[in-house]
Structure 1
């Protein structure tokens, strides 16, 4: 089986020159071809080369741009139009261009030979050669043959001065980016999650994060890629399983084929599913897919092959990558997935940012108050703790006093009534 030769393409520098000549941006050209702006940037830099149907569409579009550029040059410079159309060799037709003004029939109709025979019979023939000689500067066949007078812009015309671009405010630039990328990102995220509301919420959260970091996103080479990476990370977060919404299944697609394809996608591991959607769904190249998934190029290639094999085992009709790309686009387009308006997304993002800021301030104030209260009520000197008591051994137990026996009562009465031996007790008395 023989393959037909690939469609020829101009060099990368000429591709970029054709796009700039027709005043097209990379995003506009990417939209007309059906790829991402980063892919067009890679094609124009020579890092990657289009293949398959993208190559044919890109070559056809470049041919159309070249024709428009040639038509524009011809409209701006009518005299140079026939010369540019004649070919690259400008020295061939130059000898034939010399006799054109000499063979013009107008000089023969006027009595121009008379001045050659009679030097100056009348003062009237003097002004006549001047108007007849005026067409010569318009044709100018002789200067074209001179290598020094050949203008350089003939092969590569200078771009026309463009009007100064109107400076957009950050809000206007964000709204333009949202309207351009949000619908496609919602459809792509739906292929990752299989949930309509989660896909819409993930894209809105990603754009809210982009609005919070707008200076960084505005300077990024691929703002849509920045938002897409944030949306995919939020959609595939494992914390989504803990939400109550995740426990309630959503209605599947109405078409049985779409339902089978979506089930096959959801059975893939998240990393393989994301690689498949980026490469076969979005249309990114393998290095860009690897960079967005934070993996090496060989790892991304293995993930893509395993994902294709898993889908082909369940759906043998999708073994061809072109058919798989078309079916993924149809699956994403068949679902009615809406997105909120840019102003509401910006307002929600600002409200969320204010809430987080106020919560952080309240927590900081509470922490400072707790610390101050602790310092105020804490003791200012050290009080050693009381040591625990110890049991003393060798001391007889204390016996409680009980009732006296008869003998003890008799002895106590005798001690009270009788004098004991020893000196008498001195008692104070009155004299």
Structure 2
């Protein structure tokens, strides 16, 4: 039995263009294919590729949209044929509609530019007074995109993704300040690596993965702020659901939030959690069983998705302004850069001082002294006896004459 080849799909940009041309939102297209809006967003960004029956349904829908767009283009009057313009078309009372072959009539002496078909050749030399009605195709009518500065692009990404990321991170930690700090630190890291983030297919996913890693870091438990619990949600149902989420292991909790909270499909969830697809599926099933064991009403995934969204939206979780986040990130980068420079300078100075004061040749150490046997130890000078004192005074007081000087004599 041979496998049927998969139907071809247009490039990701063409998929999005076809959907926008048909005036369909991602939610509407997802309902027609039978998937979630996050899956359609991943297909249009190129991060994932549909497979199986979903691929066939998606390819069939895109082909239908492409055929509709082609039909719309062909029904529009072409620009290159001036005889089809309203200014050169024959009037209804001219009688030209009765002639299906549109044969040219012999010229008449009297000109009739407004009703006679013989006025066509003359009108072809005159410019059209008005442009042809009807909008141009979308790719041709779009103006050239305005290039944004890196700061403007970062601010747009922050304003688009920060509020939702703060609410999602709150489901992971249960702490408002920690969720806000994790998202801000993730965006500061994105600003430090902005060329890489700007070229990424899903910049929001890049920041989300960084924020989740920071929020679920084991080092957060050692912070003094972690020892003081924050006030729980006011609603008892929200409080019970949040406590149930916090009792899950961090990996299971993250998988549940990504799949049932954010709306990612299983391969995307596995890729973001750095796990295989079977492992991610196992974690998801165990997390759902734990939640349903304590809250049986949330056994349905659709109900669980709605309750997670309500829990995240009921909390007032604001985010800082984008320029403040960029400023804090730049100040932190300058601080660590200067600290690294100072440490490097101190290391270089210490090395130079060591090289300057270190000996240039080997000097063997002086061996410790050893006692020589058979030689009496040297005795220090002690006090003098009476005889010695008397002799010393005598030698100092009396003039000592040496031997007599011998003088030569003649004999």
The Cα offsets for residues 389-425 of structure 1, whole Å up to 9 and x where unpaired, read as 44666778999999xxxxxxxxxxxxxxxxxxxxxxx
Q: Please say if residues 113 and 119 of structure 2, whose CA atoms lie closer than 8 Å, have aligned partners that are also in contact.
A: no
Mapped to 1, the partners of 2:250 and 2:244 lie a distance apart of 12
Equivalent pair of 2:182/2:215 in contact (CA under 8 Å): yes
1:254 corresponds, among 234, 237, 242, to 234
- Residues 178-218 of structure 1: CA deviation (Å, up to 9, x unaligned): 00000000000000100000000000000000001001100
Give the TM-score of the pair, scaled to structure 2: 0.68
Correspondences of 1:79-118 after superposition (within 5 Å): 107=95
Match of 1:321 in 2: 301
Q: Give yes or no for contact 2:43–2:49 (8 Å, CA) kept in 1.
A: no
**Are the counterparts in 2 of residues 200 and 337 from structure 1 also a CA contact under 8 Å?**
yes
- Distance in 1 between residues matched to 2:119 and 2:240, nearest whole Å: 75
CA contact 2:291–2:298 (8 Å) conserved in 1:
yes
Match of 2:327 among 347, 350, 373: 347
Q: 1:133 aligns with which of 117, 131, 146?
A: 117
**Pairing of 1:201-280 with structure 2 (within 5 A):** 201-280=181-260
Residue equivalent to 2:44: 41
* Counterparts of 1:400 and 1:355, CA distance in 2: 68
Closer/same/farther in 2, CA of residues 336 and 349 from structure 1, 3 Å limit: same
CA spacing shift, 1:129–1:239, aligned 2, 3 Å: closer
| 1:274 CA displacement | 0.6
Q: Decide whether aligned partners of structure 1 residues 43 and 209 sit closer, same or farther in structure 2, where only a CA change above 3 A counts.
A: closer
Indicate conservation of the 8 Å contact 1:278/1:289, yes or no: yes
4+ aligned runs moved over 6 Å, structure 1: 23-30, 42-45, 134-137, 393-402
Using the alignment, how far apart are the partners of 1:366 and 1:378 within structure 2?
18
When the two structures are aligned, how many residues end up with a matched partner? 337
Contact 1:12–1:43 (CA under 8 A) maintained in structure 2: no
Change (3 A) 1:243 1:50: farther
Change beyond 3 A, Cα 1:280–1:27? closer
Mark the CA change 1:134 to 1:226 in structure 2 (over 3 Å): closer, same or farther. Answer: farther
Question: 2:3 matched to 1:19?
Answer: no
Aligned twin of 1:375: 355
Q: How big is the shift at 1:336?
A: 0.2
1:119-130 matches, within 5 Å, as 123-124=108-109, 127=111
Q: Is the 8 A contact 2:93 2:115 kept in 1?
A: no
The one-character-per-residue Cα deviations of 1:303-332 (angstroms, maximum 9, x if unpaired) are 111111111111111111111111100000
* Mapped partners of 1:210, 1:308: distance in 2: 32
Q: CA RMSD in A?
A: 4.6
CA 1:158/1:367 → structure 2, altered by over 3 Å: closer, same or farther? closer
Equivalents in 2 of 1:27, 1:342: separation in Å? 29
Instruction: Specify the alignment match of 1:331 in structure 2.
Output: 311
The C-alpha deviation readout for 1:355-374, integer Å capped at 9, x for no partner, is 01000000011111111122
**Alpha-carbon distance in structure 1 between the residues aligned to 2:341 and 2:46:** 49
Q: 1:20 and 1:271, CA in 2 relative to 1: closer, same or farther beyond 3 A?
A: same
What does the per-residue CA deviation read over 1:201-258, in whole Å, with 9 as the maximum and x for residues that have no partner?
0000000000010011000011001100110010011111111111111001011111
| Distance in 2 (alpha carbons) for counterparts of 1:430 and 1:24 | 142
Tell me the TM-score normalised to structure 1 length: 0.65
SS of match in other structure, 2:188: helix
Query: Where do 5+ consecutive residues of structure 1 fail to align?
Result: 1-9, 81-100, 113-118, 138-156, 403-426
Q: 1:397 to 1:335 in 2, by over 3 A?
A: same
> 1:128 Cα deviation (Å)?
5.9
Q: Spell out, residue by residue over 1:112-169, the C-alpha distance to the aligned partner (whole angstroms, 9 max, x if none).
A: 9xxxxxx99x954x756994437999xxxxxxxxxxxxxxxxxxx7843311011101
